[in-house]
Chain A
Amino acid sequence: MALSASVVAGLQRLLGPAGVVLTPEGRLTYESDMLTLYKAAPDAVVLPMTTNEVQAIVRLCREARVPIVPRGSGTGLIGGATAPHGGVMVSMTRMTQILEVDFPNRCATVQPGLINLWLTNAVRDRGWFFAPDPSSQMVSSIGGNVATNAGGPHCLKYGITTNHVLGLEIVTGTGDVVRVGGKASERAGYDLTGVLVGNEGTFGLVTAITVRLLHLPEAVKTALASFASVVEASEAVSAIIAAGIIPAALEMLDDAMIGAVNAAVGKVYPDGAGAVLLIELDGPRAEVEAQAERVAAICRERQALMVTVARDEAERALLWKGRKEAAGAVGRITAAYLLQDAVVPRSRLPQIMREMVAISKRHNLLFANVFHAGDGNLHPLICYDDRKPGELERAQQANEELLHACIALGGTVSGEHGIGMDKAKNLPLQYAEADLNFMYRLRRVFDPDGLMNPAKLLPSHPACGEGFRPSRPTLPAGTWV
């Protein structure tokens, strides 16, 4: 659907020629996020700098009934920042200011386009940090983190994005600027801040975010333990949690991933291990040291082949280097991959890892694992060759089977990446019609015209359609009124 001349002229009037991208080659850059299976360029890309401009864009599009798709850095993994219905993509890359840092009240207010790590960089000298740390934190925007309720390795201890967002300013699908939450600990009314985090742009465009800052811990200790197989490593994970220790991060890499990492960045992990656990503890020094010993002992009890504790910052950085570059390193072993993000209850890790081996064999596909074992958040990379006919379809089939297995164990469809276009179809695995319908109606409150990031987050299911009413409980005979 091409934009009308009056919409184009209106956008240009609002933002100037430099603020509107209309050329085909310019728009092509914006056709997908990092999940390139879903590609659809918007009809125009706009680059606002202020909340007022964002509001004017939404009002103009709403009047012309043009879909609106928000975009941060485009590092999402779910087919979120893509425009299957065309329309206007609102890129937040020019809204990157830190509006306020308030150390006494432990918070900062930023614009949505600010890169996650830049905030920590701006406050680290004073002893503070912003806790959510998705692996993309060097390039992903805080607005994008809020849209997807992003996680990261250190969420195990610190919680995901929503636990760190105190307040928001959003332009909703009705074109209103709504400010919710704030610095103070309590506010009367529904927790709209909590409801808005993770809305994936389907309620509106976030234009300012107040986040909590945390004090840097006194000490950090990182340990590496290797195991003969992922099953034994998974059992060690359960044992650590059962011992009452919540590490800051508890990550697992399997043999395929260890091989890829070692080939790409040098030998950082022991060859020949079936799995390694990267365990990070942080907090007061005495606590961290005692817990590191306890964790090492638990790993040895669980038949670890080897346990090492980084002695200094350089060794620690090396242990993390492998983890952080894992997604890039996988290019050594495969041309293409699908990335799963489902979660199982953490006690079910050994079971799901066995199941995964079976699925991998059944489809004759390589699964490489690097994931947040501590909270049961799986991230298998299902490797396939996109030049071989039928292999993508096989990988997709294997991916679906794994997802079903996770749900059957009491898990969830997405732990930290979100739903987007990719997983909308999977939500009915986890939610009944009434549950989906509730979410659909909530969406309509904020976006009555259905223009905000359409085709994302909710499935095309009857329960997510106008006029659907979930079946009500049947009253006993004789009690009709």
Chain B
Amino acid sequence: MALTTSAALADGLRAIVGAAHLREGGAPVDGVVPRWSAEPETIEQAALLVALAHDARLTVVPRGAGTALELGHPPARVDLVLETRRLGAVLEYQPEDLTVTVQAGCTAGALSAQLAARRQILPLDPPGWAGRSLGGIAATHASGPLRQRYGTMRDLLLGVRFAQADGVLTWGGAKVVKSVSGYDVPKLMVGALGTLGVLLELTLRLHPAPDHESTWLASFRTPAQVQECVAALLDSTVQPNRIELLNARVLTACGLPASATALAVSIGTIEPAVRAQEGLVKALVQRARGTVETMGASFWRTYDRALAGFEGVTLRIGTVPARLADTLASVQAVLPDTAMAGCAGLGALHALVGHAEAPALQAALDRLRERVDDVGGSVIVERAPRAVRERLDPWGPVPEPALAAMRAIKTEFDPRGVLNAGRFVGGL
């Protein structure tokens, strides 16, 4: 006998997580109130929830800290929100091996506090990082200034445990820093928005915390000078851990005097090596006709708060360092007064647009996407009101042969469309 009534389903979900941890409704996801929200306490419970949802043809939306739920196409239907709030444990911290295994709901801030005692870091710092869940950072491939030196989640995720769309618990990767045993399944999960599996455990590579760190703010009159300075830094022996771009609006948000555009450059290593590189950084800035000022240790906290504080439409722009000036100019041309920031050394920028109506944003996206097309870049709507995203493609076009491969992967692993259905590229 098939128990498909709402009451029977609720009983089933309740039997898995307990009455205290299943709610009718719950916090809306992208404006949609879910039928149920469940808070599993173990990964086995999480897998059972997914299995039940799969059999009952429910749609599942995994939710970590809930800070990035406006990424992607708006969900058509949300049956079950799987909250990872109670899956926040640090399971295995091996400081001697520079590795850690955490549950996906663990926040970057909570982990950071534990690592600090051993002078180690997980160098992932997207805006508002401390409150974000590591599972969420992985699923959305969110990154911050430190990617200049350390890369992104893609470079730091060694192993991953996830529930497939039918609830089968699956592991990919390894728990050691070097492994080529089988396909690189962790890479498939990073940035996949939970559409191939609900991320439940992550094994991560850690780094030693630098002994000493200094930050300089270099101010320039034109974007061309900024680009020139970035090129000079990259083509030098300086090893910065951040080369972050801030335009006038972001400088103002940080409480700093607004020059046209600035670069915040930091170097983290032992103190004599920081001092030795300081001279070269300053010389390169001055050669690009910029002015330099040394910032205090709190600068990066201020910067993080400023970026996290922007509201409204946010774009993630993937370009190359040699297109910085062009990208800044293009954005200002189509979206005047946009705040711009991001990793200049890699061309990974955020455009903090604020308010925009769908037609104007669509036109701007078309123009910007055209500008980055030949370098394989992208312009992704990271956040925008649902009403805006409903009327445009937040991901942008993916060329057909690659999209066909992505579609084939999604069809293989989630043929029923259980996991975040319709929210990913090409409506996957």
Contacts and interface: CB of A to CB of B under 8 A. Distances in A.
B190 A194 contact: yes
Contact of A191 (B47, B94, B191, B399): B191
A418 B404 CA distance: 28
A149 B178 CA distance: 11
Given A290-B272, A430-B181, A479 B408 contact: no
Interface string A311-347: 0000000000000000000000000000000011111
Given A190-B192, A191-B154, A283-B239, A184 B319 contact: yes
A84 B249 CA distance: 63
Given A105-B321, A188-B396, A435-B171, A244 B12 contact: no
B3 interface: yes
Contacts of B277: 284, 286
Interface stretch (B104-112, B283-291, B294-302, B371-379): B371-379
A167 to B, nearest CB: 6
B52 interface: yes
Contacts of A178: 401-402, 405
A373 to B, nearest CB: 12
Given A215-B237, A345-B176, A479 B170 contact: no
A393 interface: no
A94 interface: no
B276 interface: yes
A473 B169 contact: yes
A215 B276 CA distance: 18
B167 A195 contact: no
A71 interface: no
A136 interface: no
A148 B208 CA distance: 29
Q: Which of B180, B184, B211 has the most CB of A within 10 A?
A: B180
Interface string B263-290: 0000001101101110000000000000
Nearest to B92: A410
Interface in A400-456: 410-419, 423, 427, 430-432, 434-436, 438-439, 441-446
Given A186-B316, A244-B209, A192 B169 contact: no
Interface in B162-212: 164, 166-172, 174-185, 187-188, 190-192, 196, 207-209, 211
Interface stretch (B79-87, B228-236, B383-391): B228-236
B413 interface: yes
B176 A343 contact: yes
Nearest to A78: B180
B343 interface: yes
A155 B155 CA distance: 13
Interface string B125-145: 000000000000000010000
How would you classify the secondary structure of chain B's contact residues: helix, strand, loop or mixed? mixed
Interface stretch (B30-38, B95-103, B213-221, B252-260): B95-103
Contact of B322 (A105, A218, A284): A105
A187 B184 contact: no
B15 interface: yes
Interface stretch (A2-10, A156-164, A250-258, A360-368): A156-164
Nearest to B181: A413
Contacts of B272: 286-287, 290
A478 interface: yes
A344 to B, nearest CB: 7
B346 interface: yes
Contacts of B319: 184-185
B355 interface: no
B179 A284 contact: no
A467 interface: no
B367 interface: no
B: interface residue count bin: 35 or more
B12 A438 contact: no
A439 B403 contact: no
A473 B44 contact: yes
Contacts of A180: 402, 405
Contact of A194 (B187, B238, B316): B187
Given A194-B154, A242-B96, A445 B409 contact: yes
A74 interface: no
B171 to A, nearest CB: 5
Contact of B376 (A182, A286, A343, A415): A182
Interface string A209-247: 000000111100000000000000000001001101110
A445 B405 contact: yes
Nearest to B277: A284
Nearest to B395: A188
A53 to B, nearest CB: 18
A360 to B, nearest CB: 23
B318 interface: yes
A187 B321 contact: no
A397 to B, nearest CB: 21
Interface in B1-47: 2-4, 8-9, 11-13, 15-16, 44, 47
Interface string A386-400: 000000000000000
B22 to A, nearest CB: 12
A246 B322 contact: no
A472 B182 CA distance: 22
A1 interface: no
B347 interface: yes
Nearest to A290: B270
Nearest to A445: B408
Given A184-B376, A195-B187, A287 B270 contact: yes
Contacts of B2: 480-481
Contacts of A414: 179-181
B278 to A, nearest CB: 11
Contacts of B176: 343-346, 375-376, 410-412, 415
Given A216-B237, A346-B97, A481-B12, A427 B177 contact: no
Contacts of A163: 151, 155
Contacts of A167: 376
Nearest to B380: A188
A267 interface: no
B305 interface: no
A151 B178 contact: yes
Interface centre among B3, B182, B211, B380 (most CB of A within 10 A): B182
A192 B170 contact: no
Contact of B51 (A191, A291, A473): A473
Contacts of A476: 12, 15-16, 48
Contact of B182 (A179, A191, A245, A427): A427
A230 B154 CA distance: 34
B184 A197 contact: yes
B44 A188 contact: no
Interface of A: 102-106, 127, 148-149, 151, 155, 159-160, 162-163, 167, 172, 176-192, 194-195, 197-199, 215-218, 238, 241-242, 244-246, 283-287, 290-291, 343-347, 372, 375-377, 410-419, 423, 427, 430-432, 434-436, 438-439, 441-446, 457-458, 470-473, 475-476, 478-481
Given A149-B184, A185-B319, A286-B272, 14 more contacts: A151-B180, A180-B402, A184-B318, A188-B380, A188-B395, A188-B425, A216-B237, A286-B276, A291-B270, A346-B176, A434-B168, A435-B171, A438-B164, A475-B12
23 contacts: A104-B321, A105-B347, A105-B375, A106-B321, A160-B178, A178-B401, A185-B346, A185-B348, A189-B406, A194-B184, A195-B188, A198-B184, A244-B209, A284-B276, A287-B270, A346-B97, A347-B96, A375-B177, A438-B170, A438-B413, A442-B183, A445-B412, A480-B3
Which 8 pairs of residues, A with B, have the shortest CB-CB distance?
A: A182-B376, A186-B318, A194-B187, A479-B12, A244-B208, A184-B377, A287-B273, A218-B237
